Amino acid sequence: MQKLYCDTCQRFLADRLVEGSCPFPDCNYDSARGDQCDKCQKLLNPTELKDPRCKVCKTTPRIRDTDHLFLELPLLKDKLEEYINEMSVAGSWSQNAIQATNAWLREGLRQRCITRDLKWGVPVPHEKYKDKVFYVWFDAPIGYISITACYTSEWEKWWKNPKNVELYQFMGKDNVPFHTVMFPSTLLGTGESWTLMKTISVTEYLNYEGGLELYDCSGTIEK
């Protein structure tokens, strides 16, 4: 694939180290990050940004070829939609979780890159990719499982026991697609019987622009 490379810093730029304008015309936010636009919530690839710039040195990076691994989300479409349709009802997903998930599905499932040209991170256990690490939102949810496995050799009683275990997760709304689309896809793609998230509880942002706004748990705004 093609990634942004900064000649001044002499490295491929991590998604968060690239800034530019959001490529979606109805948004056009001028400080979108390489991985996500904080204004319209859409997930991005850094090369999609308009007028990209290196966040460290502010120069314009150039596109360079590099090999990466991808999740084939389009192949999992049927299984994933079945999971989402069933669990969002059974687990009473909050409205903002359903909205963020549907927004993602409406745009169509795309292949998602799960490796990065970085030194810091979990190394890819494959000779050809040994200089790369996994993308944090690929390996972080796997941490839910591996942390349990570090604690007990009986981890499968929780994580491979979907008939008897109900998984609840809590997060801010910017993390929703990683838990309703990406991570379920990772698990469904193995073809094995994993415990998938049943209920997701999602908070809105704490917004500091134009004065401090605090959201209490009933959704009331206090200024």
Would you tell me which residues interact with Zn ion (CB under 5 A)?
6, 8-9, 22, 27, 29, 37, 39-40, 54, 56-57
Is the Cβ–Cβ distance between 194 and 155 less than 8 Å? no
CB closer to Zn ion, 14 vs 197: 14
CB closer to Zn ion, 57 vs 212: 57
**Shortest distance in whole angstroms from residue 218 CB to Zn ion:** 29
CB closer to Zn ion, 6 vs 80: 6
**Shortest distance in whole angstroms from residue 198 CB to Zn ion:** 31
**Shortest distance in whole angstroms from residue 50 CB to Zn ion:** 11
**Shortest distance in whole angstroms from residue 27 CB to Zn ion:** 3
Q: Using the 8-state DSSP alphabet, how is residue 115 labeled?
A: E
In order, the DSSP letters of 15-66 are: GGGEEEE-S-TTT--TTEESSB-TTT--B--GGGSEEEEETTT-PPPEEEE-
CB closer to Zn ion, 39 vs 68: 39
CB closer to Zn ion, 55 vs 198: 55
The answer to whether the Cα torsion of 156, 190, 41, 86 is positive or negative is: negative
Instruction: Tell me the pairing of strands 70-71 and 112-113.
Output: antiparallel
**Shortest distance in whole angstroms from residue 42 CB to Zn ion:** 6
Burial class (CB in 10 A: 0-12, 13-18, 19+), 183: buried
